[in-house]
Amino acid sequence: MLTAVTGINWGDEGKGRVIDLLAEQADVVVRYQGGNNAGHTVVTEKGKFVLNLLPSGILHPNVACVLGDGMVVDLEHLAGEIRQIHEKGINVTKENLKLSKRATISMPWHRIQDELEEDRLAKTGSAFGSTRRGIAYAYSDKYRKKTLRLGDLLHLDDPAVQSRLKTMLEAKNLELGGCYHQEPMSFSALLTWCEKQSELFGDYICDTGAWLDSALSTGKKIVLEAQLGAMRDIDYGIFPYTSSSSTISAYGPIGAGIPGKSLDHVVGVLKAYSTCVGAGPFAAEKAMPEEWLNELREAGGEFGAATGRPRRVGPFDAVASRYGLKCQNADKIALTKLDVLSSLKEVPLIVSYQKGSHRTVTFDPTENLDQYTPVVETLPGWQKDISGCRTYEELPDEAKEYIKTLEHLLNHEIQFISVGARRDQYLIKGEWF
């Protein structure tokens, strides 16, 4: 069985939480796009884990994890991440972590170039809200054929690989020196860096596509883990305020390395309210006063897992969520952080957008979304602690009504509802897995 877990909105919806739960019954968890700009937070009996590159399944001893073909991999960051979770008792070996030989390496200069350009743009007020981790530049060089893939680390003695290294280094030194006045990197330093990465990760690199294909043929359960959400997709998101890869479920098998396979299920993850990290249109933050937004941010601990930046917050946005749900083609919906709304006397939600006299319920990312204002309706709050609820029936009537309203606005049933950060703080409604 092949299941993709995707974000419906701007990212940070709580996908890591859902994947951690699904991983209890899965055999393999695969990251299929993005890089260490991801930030999945999972709370277990061993503590709180913030994972950037490692799939959330790494916290389960019997689950194999894969960094797939469609990823860009910062190997220095990966090494640090492995060290951090090892300190909390999680072992990472070539048996439970496999790196695709087709995945793109985030080279030493990509992060530097990202930081320099974002600083330059910030001076003009044109910054994109980058995570400054070099993701866009790694993907750019992938399509310009000016970077290495992980499999190249296994063949550093090959004259063809060394020739490519020299060619890309020359081009990058011209860029960084000419545009940003940076000191050039030497070929010997670059080769030494590559040799170090090969020594550290050579045993982990393999043809993960063939390995996954074999796993599926023997009936293994595979979960594909997306980074960010539909609004940050390079094609369908709020361009140019997007990621540099496809966050859409349909790309999952391609990015995983099994393009001939079809998804059996797609889980779309939503928060019970709206959050956003990074720049770009975000109608939800215009829906309520600043004091209300600050209180919600603090109540939900809304600070980026990868960046630490305060997330932009607002009420649930049904207009944007319907669009994201259509993009992801989800057959299951997980709603996270319902408990964060428990203190509210009234719970607002966005039902439409207004521009002048024109009202719309359609989200169009090609429009100037900053010109629209959200139309808000409110429902009675429940003002009760729901963190101990383990069945839908135990929820207060007001919480049930809120969920029913979301289902009506989305035209889709919600099957999974989280009521706290711990693994056991959730309930199932309807048919799950």
Catalytic residues: 12, 40
Give the Cβ contact number of residue 412 at 10 Å: 18
CA distance 197 to 169: 17
Which region holds residue 199: left if phi is over 0, alpha if psi is between -120 and 50, else beta? alpha
- DSSP string covering 415-428: -EEE-SSSTT-EEE
Give yes or no for a contact between 370 and 303, defined as CB atoms under 8 angstroms apart: no
Q: Are 257 and 212 in contact (CB under 8 A)?
A: yes
Provide the residue type at 29 as one letter: V
Please name every residue paired with 138 in a beta bridge, in sequence order, or none if there are none.
none
Q: 214 by DSSP, 3-state: which?
A: helix
Burial tier of 366 (Cβ tally within 10 Å: 0-12, 13-18, 19+):
exposed
The 3-class SS string of 127-196 reads CCCCCCCCHHHHHHHHHCCCCCEHHHHHHCCCHHHHHHHHHHHHHHHHHHHHHHCCCCCCHHHHHHHHHH
396/345 Cα distance (integer angstroms): 13
Instruction: Give the amino acid at 12.
Output: D
Q: How far apart are CA 258 and CA 85, in angstroms?
A: 29
Quote the crossing angle between the two packed helices 397-410 and 318-328, to the nearest 10°: 60
- Rounded to whole angstroms, the Cα distance separating 265 from 221 reads 11
| H or E element at residue 410 | helix 397-410
Going by C-beta distance under 8 Å and a sequence separation of 6 or more, which residues neighbour residue 46? 59, 88, 89, 90
What's the angle, vertex CA 227, arms to CA 224 and CA 231, rounded to 5?
A: 120
